[in-house]
């Protein structure tokens, strides 16, 4: 055991001066000993303590429209999405930040200065849709999809690719989708009002008071179904 320790660690000045090969061998031994014996614990570095901090870290960049600020914003969101892979809010907020920055560059004729791949963000919405969503997140995603489709339609119109019928149909589809969203919101409000009445109810006779809420809810539901059927019938290739 002692000879091993001496081989591994004892180096005299004479060895360094007169026997460099022996020194090299001992250096190799120490390297092998370190590789086989030392243990490293991989620790996950958490940049944000919660997913909201990711968006807060980007707020100061809102007023800075420089491309360096935009790239920094994307890196911050990339880190947030890496840390909170299963939180849809991070993907949704990142999409809106990227979209508004791209809109600013387009409106100020600056978009052609940069690679359009920098502003690609469709994948963010797809990632968010695969996660658990409440009604608010679903609404934000639906609104984002409408904005993206409107952007594509405007690009086609500017390029002269659409004829008059295509433009009319695109506006009709947009109107139907907006009506569906509003009907969903109205339906949620009717459900909320109904539950509020149920909470304060103390008499069986109060059941009669719930009928208007249920009637309105059924009416909103049927109207929404009707809009969905129209979209499927006239625009079968469109995502809703």
pLDDT tens digits, 163-186: 566 667 777 788 888 888 888 888
CA distances from 194 to 134, 201, 238 (A): 20, 11, 34
pTM: 0.52
Map tokens 């304060």 to a residue. 200
- Distance (Å, whole) CA 139 – CA 145: 10
Quick one: average pLDDT of 66-86? 86
- Contacts by 168-175, CB closer than 8 A, 24 or more apart: 169/234, 169/235, 172/234, 173/231, 173/234, 173/235, 173/238, 174/146, 174/149, 174/150
**What's the whole-number average pLDDT of the chain?**
76
Supply the pLDDT for residue 219. 85
Supply the pLDDT for residue 81. 87
Q: What is the DSSP letter of 10?
A: -
What pLDDT band is residue 7 in, cutting at 50, 70 and 90? Answer: very low
Of residues 55, 66, 63, the one with CA closest to residue 91: 55
């Amino acid at each position: 055991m002692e000879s091993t320790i001496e081989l591994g660690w004892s180096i005299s000045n004479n060895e360094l001066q007169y026997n460099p090969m022996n020194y090299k061998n001992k250096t190799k031994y120490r390297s092998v000993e370190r590789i086989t014996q030392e243990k490293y614990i991989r620790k996950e570095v958490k940049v944000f303590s919660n997913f909201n901090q990711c968006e807060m870290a980007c707020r100061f960049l809102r007023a800075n429209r420089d491309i360096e600020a935009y790239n920094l914003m994307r890196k911050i969101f990339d880190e947030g999405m890496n840390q909170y892979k299963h939180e849809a809010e991070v993907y949704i907020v990142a999409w809106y930040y990227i979209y508004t920055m791209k809109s600013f560059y387009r409106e100020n004729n600056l978009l052609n200065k940069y690679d359009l791949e920098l502003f690609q963000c469709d994948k963010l919405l797809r990632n968010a849709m695969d996660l658990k969503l409440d009604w608010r997140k679903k609404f934000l995603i639906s609104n984002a999809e409408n904005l993206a489709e409107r952007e594509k339609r405007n690009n086609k119109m500017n390029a002269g690719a659409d004829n008059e019928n295509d433009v009319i149909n695109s506006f009709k589809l947009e109107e139907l989708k907006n009506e569906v969203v509003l009907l969903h919101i109205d339906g949620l409000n009717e459900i909320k009002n109904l539950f509020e009445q149920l909470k304060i109810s103390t008499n069986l006779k109060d059941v009669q008071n719930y009928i208007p809420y249920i009637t309105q809810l059924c009416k909103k539901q049927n109207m929404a179904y009707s809009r969905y059927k129209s979209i499927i019938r006239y625009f079968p290739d469109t995502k809703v």
